[in-house]
Structure 1
Amino acid sequence: MYQHYPTRKEIFTSSTCGDYQLFIAWPDEPAPEQGWPVIYLLDGEVHFPVAETLMRTLARPRCCMTPGVVVAIGYLEGTLRERDYRPAVAQRVPEPNPRGGYYPSGLAGQSEAFLAFIQHELKPYIRQAFSVDPRREALFGHSYGGLFTLNTLFTCRHAFQHYYASSPSVWWNEGYINEIATDFLQAEVTEELSAAPVLFLSVGEWEQSLERWELALPEVQREALRQHRRQRRMVDGVRELSWRLQAADRDKLDVSLFIHAGQSHQSVPLLSLQQAFMHHFQR
């Protein structure tokens, strides 16, 4: 028997960031006294169908998850994820294209404004519409969304209790996020939290090399893929960042690393999302 989870799709207009498409799912039953746990998902149009299925199948009696609220943030048409998920930097460093030249730099980042939208516009709206527990809030992002998740943790650690960064773009702008991590690790903790934030870092085994099926591609294409993945160092970059963070005081941050065997950059968020849900909504 599946749990009944009503869903709705609506347009939310931010006073500073423009229009977003929200996808929301919530339990069709009375909330506990403390309210429901809630998770906010980036790239909502991609991840919400999976999230909804997870809640319907695993947040049932005798299953591993407790019911909760899912808020997925997407776009009406096209995408502004480069603008919303990447930090503002003084200088954007172009990334070499193995086929020659450089990849387009894309939109300038404004992640500080996007975080302000979530904190000061979206969260109050969700708290008014649903009975949620502000002490059990989580953020999930993949790729550039994972970069945003890490940057939020390092610059505003009290924003969420659980952070799930799937294949974060640690390579971006010559490893910019590692500089922010250094500032985070060296900074004194000033705010008192009931518990240290939890960070799940995840990456796919094949994000830094070719997958087996790709060996059948033409040689020129294979070599371009090899060089592209080697220069991004997704697996090494995420692993090395996790080691640095794990060496910090556990009162400051609780970090776990997951390298998912046999997964690529495209396939790994399905596993990372399930892992995030089973942790955040655990009974």
Structure 2
Amino acid sequence: MNAIRMTSSVLAVAEALTGSDRPPIGPAYAVPGSERIRVVSAQGQPYDLMIAAPVGPPADAAAYPVLYLLDGNAVFGTAAEIVAMRSRKPESTGTVPAVVVAIGYPGDQPFDLERRAADYTPPVTATELPLRPDGSRWGKVGNADAFLGFLLDVVRPLVAGKFAVDPQRQALFGHSFGGLFALHALFTRPDAFSHIIAASPSIWWHRYVADDYAAAFAERVRTTGVDAKVLVTIGELEQRLTVAEASAAESATRAAWKRRNRMVDNARELSDWLAALPGRGPEVCFAMFAGEDHGSVVPAALSRAVGFALARRP
């Protein structure tokens, strides 16, 4: 009886402390050595840049590599801490100090679903697109070219004005739609980034490898070559149901969605296709993480991306 009364009292207090009645918990935590600045694109769209300074002196040529991250609100803290922790002792970890730049959106939510869907997707017509999981059509899409221009023409010079950066070591990480955008950057501006990390790329959204850009990219590899290094990652469970999904009411719909999207198959086929291109093609790595699904794989993909993009040179 006492336990019941105590539990009821605790629940009552918890309910009373929701919303504006919740007591303050102190200042928000900020990643040490970081800043957040607002930048507006030529199209009038505001972006928040989260920038973490290197934790040590540069390893090569008095200049730092730069790791650019999409979905910055969601991944900046994790990525910045991974880089800081591993680059403090590059002689033992193999990871060199670097500038971390996450491109996000105003606000505190991890994702801005509407804006990322627009910024990270290549130009297409609505009739070419699959429906959303709920059967509805997409909103604004196809802003990838403008967003890539913003990264290269606005964000990159801003970062170069703050730090001594190595223009030959500029890496781009994107997950899901961000991974699709990373591929778009590779295919349309293959000289823009030295390292491309496409984590769980949403190739299903627009049959990318079999589409317009692939042929032009293959021709460039054959004629002039592409020097970028490419890492494609995927979670083992991205094409089949997790235990939690299998027990959910909408499991059949979810299973059909995963089968249709072919996340694992697409990622592996993309890697094989890139590696097999005749000519001087990109150096390609593929990694699949056991036991991880589309969401849970992000920390593992970030960790692998840091080691891939910021490896100490011999």
Match for residue 261 of structure 2 among 216, 229, 232: 232
Cα shift at 1:191: 5.9
Q: Which runs of 5+ in 2 are unaligned?
A: 1-30
| Distance (whole Å) between structure 2 residues aligned to residue 243 and residue 188 of structure 1 | 15
Cα deviation code 1:114-171 (max 9, x no counterpart):
0111111111111011111001000000011000000110111000000000011110
Q: Provide the identity percentage.
A: 35
Change in CA separation of 1:23 and 1:240 when aligned onto 2, cut-off 3 Å: same
| Distance (whole Å) between structure 2 residues aligned to residue 47 and residue 234 of structure 1 | 21
Cα deviation code 1:24-43 (max 9, x no counterpart):
00125454644101011000
Higher relative contact order (CA 8 A, sep 6+): 1
Cα deviation code 1:229-271 (max 9, x no counterpart):
0111111111111111110146221111111111100011211
**TM-score with structure 1 setting the length:** 0.89
Worse-superposed segment, 15-24 or 268-277: 15-24
Change in CA separation of 1:223 and 1:12 when aligned onto 2, cut-off 3 Å: same
1:44 paired residue number:
72
1:206 maps onto 2:237 in alignment: yes
Describe the SS at the equivalent of 1:246: helix
RMSD of aligned alpha carbons: 2.1
1:259 paired residue number:
288
1:53 maps onto 2:86 in alignment: no
Change in CA separation of 1:98 and 1:269 when aligned onto 2, cut-off 3 Å: closer
| Distance (whole Å) between structure 2 residues aligned to residue 112 and residue 130 of structure 1 | 26
Give the partner amino acid of 1:58: R
Change in CA separation of 1:227 and 1:97 when aligned onto 2, cut-off 3 Å: farther
| Distance (whole Å) between structure 2 residues aligned to residue 140 and residue 83 of structure 1 | 17
Worse-superposed segment, 143-152 or 17-26: 17-26
Larger Rg: 2
Give the conservation status (yes or no) of the 8 Å contact 1:246–1:255.
Answer: yes
Give the partner amino acid of 1:88: P
Matched pairs, number: 273
2:189 paired residue number:
156
Give the partner amino acid of 1:89: V
| Distance (whole Å) between structure 2 residues aligned to residue 49 and residue 97 of structure 1 | 30
Q: Which runs of 5+ in 1 are unaligned?
A: none
| Distance (whole Å) between structure 2 residues aligned to residue 176 and residue 91 of structure 1 | 15
Worse-superposed segment, 230-239 or 23-32: 23-32
2:45 paired residue number:
18
Match for residue 197 of structure 1 among 228, 231, 234: 228
Give the conservation status (yes or no) of the 8 Å contact 2:46–2:105.
Answer: yes
Change in CA separation of 1:33 and 1:169 when aligned onto 2, cut-off 3 Å: same
| Distance (whole Å) between structure 1 residues aligned to residue 133 and residue 48 of structure 2 | 35
1:89 paired residue number:
124
1:176 paired residue number:
208
Match for residue 102 of structure 2 among 62, 72, 81: 72
| Distance (whole Å) between structure 1 residues aligned to residue 56 and residue 133 of structure 2 | 54
**TM-score with structure 2 setting the length:** 0.81
1:7 maps onto 2:34 in alignment: yes
